[in-house]
Amino acid sequence: PTLYSANWMQFITTTIMAVEYDGGVVIGADSRTTTGAYIANRVTDKLTPIHDRIFCCRSGSAADTQAIADVVTYQLGFHSIELDEAPLVQTAANLFKASCYRYREELMAGIIVAGWDKRRGGQVYTVPVGGMLVRQPVSVGGSGSTYIYGYMDSNYKPNMTKDQCLRLVSGALSLAMERDGSSGGVVRLAAISETGVDRQVILGNQLPKWSTA
């Protein structure tokens, strides 16, 4: 997308993921930000709150996604105050899509929007590079996502519980981090439901282990 040398550009080459369950969503991400082959931040928080019950998972250019998230946080906050009501996840997703699509030539951002609202419960929307918007029960993104499509397809079942979802996400992320050089660090998880947001961090030595390790 950009014409200038991207030597100094920081990328969230990553693995991000979101899963719907009955009553909310579980989102997860690794914690690596790279500048070329150097890891600029090994404890990045890629799960950014947009509103009380709406989060976004960021991948792509660090600067672009931070800026877009800031813009959408403002727009959504304003909208929510005007309406005097909690905003819908669909609204947040559409705001992301609007920015990502309009400036698609200049931006490099792959975002997963996930949250809980009163109307439709837990929802996951994906806005990949280019500005498409689609709702999915499960979504993975980032450079490490390619390694876990098979795992997702075989292990996701509809109507899982929150704990099953947490285990699915942490398992999938550890597998991706194991194989993808651009993902690593710790696993950050968040479970969003009507009662609130429950965040956790799984450190490197506490990650689930797999047989070929």
CB of 165 to other proteins, least distance (A): 28
DSSP string, 90-153: HHHHHHHHHHHHHTTTT--EEEEEEEEETTTEEEEEEE-TT---EE-SEEEESGGGGGGHHHHH
Q: What burial class does residue 81 get, using C-beta atoms within 10 Å of its C-beta: 0-12 exposed, 13-18 middle, 19+ buried?
A: exposed
Contact between 136 and other proteins by CB under 8 A: the answer reads no
Q: Do 31 and 15 contact (CB within 8 A), yes or no?
A: no
Contact between 132 and other proteins by CB under 8 A: the answer reads no
Contact between 101 and other proteins by CB under 8 A: the answer reads no
User: Which residues on adjacent β-strands are paired with residue 141?
Assistant: 16
| Residue 212 annotated among the catalytic residues of the structure | no
Contact between 202 and other proteins by CB under 8 A: the answer reads no
Q: Which helix (H) or strand (E) holds 197?
A: strand 196-202
Q: Which of 2, 13, 14, 73 is catalytic?
A: 14
Contact between 129 and other proteins by CB under 8 A: the answer reads no
The span of 34-42, 127-135, 173-181, 196-204 binding other proteins (CB under 8 A) equals 34-42
Nearer to other proteins, 12 or 177 (CB): 12
CB of 37 to other proteins, least distance (A): 11
Decide: helix, strand or coil at residue 86: coil
Contact residues for other proteins (CB under 8 A)?
Answer: 2-4, 8-10, 33, 35, 38, 40-41, 43-44, 61-64, 66-67, 71, 75, 78-79, 82, 91, 94-95, 98-99, 103, 106
